[in-house]
Amino acid sequence: MSDGEDDLPLSTRARVAIAGNESDSDDDVPLSARVPGATTGKRKNMSNRNRPAHKRKSSDTEDDNSSDDKPIGSLVDISDRKSTTAGGSAKKKTKRADHEPWRAKRGAKQMWSTLEHNGVVFPPPYQAHGIPLVYDGHDVKLLPHEEEVATFFAVMKDTDYAQKDIFVKNFFDGFKKTLRGGPHGFIKDFKKCDFTKIYMWNLQERERKKSVSAEEKRKVKAEQAAAEEKYCWATIDGRRERVGNYKVEPPGLFRGRGEHPKMGRVKKRIMPEDIIINIGKGAKVPEPLPGHKWKQIIHNNTVTWLCGWNDTINTKDWKYVQFGATSSIKAESDIQKYEKARKLKLAVDAIRRDYFKKMKSGSVLEQQLAVTTYLVDKLALRAGGEKDDDLADTVGVCTLRVGHIDFLPPSTIKFDFLGKDSIRYLQEHEVDPLVFHAMQRFCKGKKKDQDIFDHIDPTKVNKHLQTLMPGLTIKVFRTYNASYTLNKLLKETTPAGDSTVPMKKAAYDAANKEVAVLCNHQKGVSKAHDAQMEKLQDKKKIIEKEIAALRRDKKDTNKAKIRTLKERLSKLELQMKMKDELKSVSLGTSKINYMDPRITIAWCKHNDVPPPTVYTKALVEKFNWAMEVEPDFDF
């Protein structure tokens, strides 16, 4: 493999690598140059070329060459950076925001006056196991920080990721960089690497952990919980509330969804030097790890996060520690979200009149605004912001391309595209003839990889929506659609008052399922699904045979037995039907994020169903704010 990575003096490289803070400079060699024909992105760059300039994102993204020296700037602690720079790197470090005094955004609202918290929990330091990598037939005992990266990969042998070329290549690039300048720099050929010994060690290790007695497991867990207890809580304006993700993500290999170009990259260990602490003035600043210091302490009371750091994969992204779902700050924004959706319910008729009018008589821009609003309204699609080429190629309504739809006259459109999380949206919808013809006009003369809605983007659509209803954005339609549908279905399908709670629950789940399908919330079909269905099928056959046998010898006493068997049979059949229908539908997402809990709670009260029947313990807590709703609440 040719890797011209000698752009930095060895001495500098070695120091940086050993410090575990190597730069992302493998990016200076384009992916395609390292492995021929490895560009698998379906979109590649061609569509960007065809795309109108205003829809293209940052033109000079050329992989992330430009970010080459930024990760160092943001990830290495100050003292280390100085020595690195002095060590001979010719690259200039640009001044970054972290050196400027923090300033609140213009017009930002104050979110708190006092804030206390205890910072974050770091993952435990790496414990070397000493198992060698086999290279070209010989054992190579790696240095701990090298071994750590090798182990990230070795333990993933059985996953789908490990079968993907991009994943392997990204990993190996990272691994080589880790080795470079050290005693094992000679490891340059992936084909000569054999990770089996480490893999086997890991299997044993997992067995060992599994075999620990339940008693011992409980004890360890309790001890850990006690040690972490103080990080679970923060105090905002005097209220003690739960923190959400107080644990720093451990290092590992990045697992992007779908065909993510960066999958397999090494996620570096986050250190205190990477982390900005946001806390009230005068509050006690949490202790960093011994011998370390925080990147910065700020007192920004216009935001709700407690700690933040740059993501190591997409270096311009940020990670934040925030309050938990049960906190008042989250509850308040939840309430606002659903209240906004209810306002949309009142405004939606006018909005529909508006888009039909503009479809007929507007400019092309207006027509595209009208049609996208129609799709968002009827199909609950997402916005679809423009994305860089270094992310998976997924789309929403504004980024739909000609190849994503088929026209099925007279007025049905088939959609087939990858949405958020690379989940496939494959649905056919009969649309209004006006919409059908407008979309045909937009597609006319365009190639498959060109944007259908070439005059607009989410910002424009949202600006337009604001003119129809203050605060209205595309995503509000999803909330509105989901809640409206649940509200309607529960009214229509809930069985009579004398039915059992399980029957009512079944009706609720069925309504929930409709909402999930509307929002295209899917889950992977479990690997065991087919086998499980077959097992149920066998069970069914056995019962049927038994019934047949009982029928053959016509004893009176058999009648009762047949009846119970038949009951079991119909129950089994229902179970099979539900299992198959729900195998790829995820109910949880809509329950957590889209269906107004007041609808559910009001329904519970109205039908004498205890809330824990439909909500987990965590959800009952999260939706505490909705518990006092009147039984006749109507969305």
Partner DNA sequence: ATCCTGGACTCAGAAAGATGTCC
Partner DNA sequence: CGGACATCTTTCTGAGTCCAGGA
Which of 231, 374, 484, 594 is labelled catalytic?
594
Least separation in angstroms between CB 135 and DNA: 27
Examine residue 519 and tell whether it contacts DNA (CB under 7 A). yes
315 binding DNA? (CB under 7 A): no
Determine if 618 is a binding residue for DNA (CB under 7 A).
Answer: yes
Q: How far is CA 281 from CA 116, 237, 323, in A?
A: 9, 12, 19
> Does 558 interact with DNA (rule: CB under 7 A)?
no
- CA dihedral sign of residues 462, 465, 470, 475: negative
Stretch that binds DNA, among 76-84, 194-202, 252-260, 428-436 (CB under 7 A): 252-260
588 binds DNA, rule: CB under 7 A: yes
| Complex with DNA: residue 437 or 583, whichever CB lies closer | 583
Site for DNA in 141-170 (CB under 7 A): 159
**In angstroms, how far is the first alpha carbon of the chain from the final one?**
62
* One-letter amino acid of 524: G
Taking the complex as a whole, the smallest distance from the CB of residue 172 to DNA amounts, in Å, to: 18
Residue type, 499: S
Question: Is residue 272 a contact residue for DNA (CB under 7 A)?
Answer: no
Give me 76's structure tokens: 């290495």
Stretch that binds DNA, among 20-28, 124-132, 429-437, 586-594 (CB under 7 A): 586-594
Is there binding between residue 317 and DNA (CB under 7 A)?
A: yes
The backbone region for 417, taken as left when phi is positive above 0, alpha when psi lies in -120 to 50, beta otherwise, is: beta
- The answer to whether the beta carbons of residues 10 and 181 sit under 8 Å apart is yes
Residues 197-216 touching DNA, rule: CB under 7 A, are none
Query: Binding of DNA at residue 114 (CB under 7 A)?
Result: no
Listed residue (585, 606, 598, 587) closest to 337, CA to CA:
598
Of residues 50 and 586, the one with the C-beta less far from DNA = 586
Tell me if residue 236 falls in helix, strand or coil: strand
Cα 558 to Cα 93, 540, 541, 565, 568: the distances in Å are 87, 19, 19, 10, 15
Residue (15 or 342) nearer to DNA, CB: 342
Alpha-carbon distance of 483 to 244, in angstroms, equals: 26
- Nearest approach in angstroms of CB 158 to DNA is 10
**E strands along 101-254, which residues?**
115-117, 133-135, 138-140, 193-194, 233-236, 239-242, 252-253
Nearer to DNA, 423 or 439 (CB): 423
Q: List the one residue from 90, 496, 528, 560 that touches DNA (CB under 7 A).
A: 528
Question: Which of residues 65, 114, 328, 473 is near DNA by CB under 7 A?
Answer: 473
The yes or no reply on residue 514 touching DNA (CB under 7 A) is no
Question: Which residue, 304 or 487, is less far from DNA as judged by CB?
Answer: 304
Taking the C-alpha atoms of residue 375 and residue 382, their distance in angstroms, rounded to an integer, is 9
Q: Report the alpha-carbon angle 509-511-517, nearest 5.
A: 100
| Residue with tokens 């013809």, as numbered in its chain | 437
| Residue 414 phi, psi (nearest 5) | -100, 125
Q: Which of 43, 157, 188, 255 binds DNA (CB under 7 A)?
A: 255
Q: Where in 2-41 is the site for DNA (CB under 7 A)?
A: none
3-state secondary structure 308-376: EEECCCCCCCEEEECECCCCHHHHHHHHHHHHHHHHHHHHHHHHHHHHHHHHHHCCHHHHHHHHHHHHH
Selected from 264, 272, 458, 597, the binder of DNA by CB under 7 A is 458
Q: Give whichever of 12 and 481 is closer to DNA, judged by the CB atom.
A: 481
Q: CB of 180: closest distance to DNA in angstroms? A: 24
Using the rule CB under 7 A, which residue among 142, 270, 474, 599 binds DNA?
A: 474
Query: Per rule CB under 7 A, is residue 62 in the interface with DNA?
Result: no
Q: Judged by CB under 7 A, does residue 250 bind DNA?
A: yes
Give just the sign of the alpha carbon dihedral 74, 79, 84, 90.
positive
Interaction between residue 267 and DNA (CB under 7 A): yes
Nearest to 323 by CA among 240, 426, 403, 417: 240
How many Å apart are CA 137 and CA 84, to the nearest integer?
Answer: 36
Structure tokens at 227: 């040690």
Please tell me whether residue 300 binds DNA under the rule CB under 7 A: yes
Q: Based on the residue annotation, tell me whether 231 is a catalytic residue of this protein.
A: no
* Residue 381, CA atoms < 13 Å, CB-side half-sphere: 29
Q: Decide: is 265 part of the binding site for DNA (CB under 7 A).
A: no
Q: Is 502 among the residues that bind DNA (CB under 7 A)? A: no
Which region among 280-288, 522-530, 561-569, 596-604 touches DNA (by CB under 7 A)?
522-530
Residue 180 touches DNA, criterion: CB under 7 A: no
Question: Residue 304 CB, nearest distance to DNA (Å)?
Answer: 4
312 versus 494: smaller Cβ distance to DNA? 312
Q: How far apart are CA 350 and CA 468, in angstroms?
A: 8
Query: In this structure, what token pair is assigned to residue 533?
Result: 């269905």
Choice from 157, 337, 455, 605 touching DNA (CB under 7 A): 337
- Choice from 39, 50, 422, 558 touching DNA (CB under 7 A): 422
Residue 535 found at the interface with DNA (CB under 7 A): yes
Among 138, 217, 281, 545, indicate the residue that binds DNA (CB under 7 A). Answer: 217
Closest CA to 369 of 387, 385, 356, 350: 356
- Number of residues interacting with DNA: please give it, by CB under 7 A: 78
Residue 72 interacts with DNA (CB under 7 A): yes or no? no
Q: Among residue numbers 351 through 410, which ones bind DNA (CB under 7 A)?
A: 382-385, 387, 391-392, 394, 396
Q: Which stretch binds DNA (CB under 7 A): 39-47, 297-305, 597-605, 623-631?
A: 297-305
Q: Is 541 in the site for DNA (CB under 7 A)?
A: no
DSSP code for 262: T
Determine if 318 is a binding residue for DNA (CB under 7 A).
yes
The correct pick among 73, 256, 286, 288 for binding DNA (CB under 7 A) is 256
Q: Which are the catalytic amino acids?
A: 594
